[in-house]
Each structure stands twice: as structure tokens, then as C-alpha cells.
Amino acid sequence: MMTSARSSSWTSSDPSLAELEVMVAEPSHRGKGIGKEVTRMMMSYGVTKLGVKQFEVKIGLDNQVSIAMFKKLHFQEVSVSKVFKEMTLEIRVDDLVRAKLLHDTAHMKERDYGQTCRNRQELVSK
Ligand SMILES: CC(C)(COP(=O)(O)OP(=O)(O)OC[C@H]1O[C@@H](n2cnc3c(N)ncnc32)[C@H](O)[C@@H]1OP(=O)(O)O)[C@@H](O)C(=O)NCCC(=O)NCCS
């Protein structure tokens, strides 16, 4: 799986605006809720740790699954580029969006990445 959320500094110097990208690389693992869950997880991290107030996503017009997923997460279509054949969707993090996001990710726990890797290595070497 690949996920990323980056500051859209190439289009704006506003650090409260972030662009999201998500891919469930293994096709057989798609359609099981992973995409929605990791997107919420990234958004929650962005909002609570980085002060993100607006997310945007650019999706190819033929990628209906992804467009459906972001609309389900309440992103709104803001523009369509015929040249790049892509759509831009965005969501502004107002109090309601923030509260829903925190509610939907309340079961998730933040773990130290280095420690998690070391724990895995210990398990594998046993
Ligand atoms: C787009 C992608 C990340 C979605 O992840 P996923 O784990 O497959 O999606 P989920 O199972 O979490 O489903 C999320 C929503 O997507 C939509 N969706 C998922 N599979 C779908 C399908 N086969 N047909 C139509 N809509 C679909 C639904 O709206 C779904 O919400 P619901 O389950 O509440 O109905 C994944 O399919 C993927 O990696 N695609 C290729 C890479 C890509 O296009 N990335 C997007 C660029 S940012």
C-alpha cells in the first residue's frame, strides 16, 4: 500500500493545505475498506498533528472508484481539467468535519514506527 499527504507548496505556500494520494497496490486487497480507512487515518494525523485545514485530491477522470471513495468521504468536486483529464476534489476541515473525523478514527492508535519495526524483526527472528 502507498499513501501520502503532502503540503501543496508547489501550488500554494499555505501549510494548512495538503494534497492526499492513496493506492492499495495489491488489486486483490481493494474493495475491503482499506482505502477509506487509511485515508481517514492520514487526514486525522494531518488535522491533529500538522494543523491541516483543507485537503485536496487530484484524480484521473476514468478512476470512478477513487472519485466515489472521496465523495463518500464528503470531498466536493471543485474543478475538472480537460487537458490533464483529471478532477480536483477538496474538503475544508470545519468543526463538524473535524469532529466526525476524530470519531471515525477514535479506535486507531499511533505507534512509534521504529519500535514497531524492531518488534516485527524480533518476531521474525524467533
Ligand atoms: C481508490 C482506492 C485507494 C480505494 O481503496 P479501496 O480499499 O479499494 O476502497 P474501499 O474498500 O475503502 O472503498 C471506499 C469506497 O470506494 C468506493 N468503491 C470501492 N470499490 C468500488 C468499486 N469496485 N466500484 C465502485 N465504487 C467502489 C465506494 O464508494 C467505497 O465506499 P463504500 O464501501 O462505503 O461503498 C483503490 O481502489 C486503489 O488503490 N486504486 C488504484 C490507485 C488509485 O486510483 N489511487 C487514487 C489516486 S489518489
Q: Is 31 in the pocket of ligand 1 (CB under 6 A)?
A: yes
Q: Is 39 in the pocket of ligand 1 (CB under 6 A)?
A: no
Q: Is 35 in the pocket of ligand 1 (CB under 6 A)?
A: yes
Which atom of ligand 1 has the smallest separation from the CA of 38? 12
Q: Report how far residue 51's alpha carbon sits from residue 45's, in angstroms, rounded to the nearest whole number.
A: 9
pLDDT at residue number 31: 95
Q: What is the DSSP letter of 13?
A: S
Give 20-54 pLDDT, tens digit per residue.
999 999 999 999 999 999 999 999 999 999 999 99
- For the whole model, what pTM was predicted? 0.87
Pocket test for ligand 1, best of 28, 65, 84, 90 (most atoms within 8 A of CB): 65
- Distance from the CA of 1 to the center of ligand 1, in angstroms? 13
Domains of the chain and CATH, by start: 2-125 (3.40.630.30)
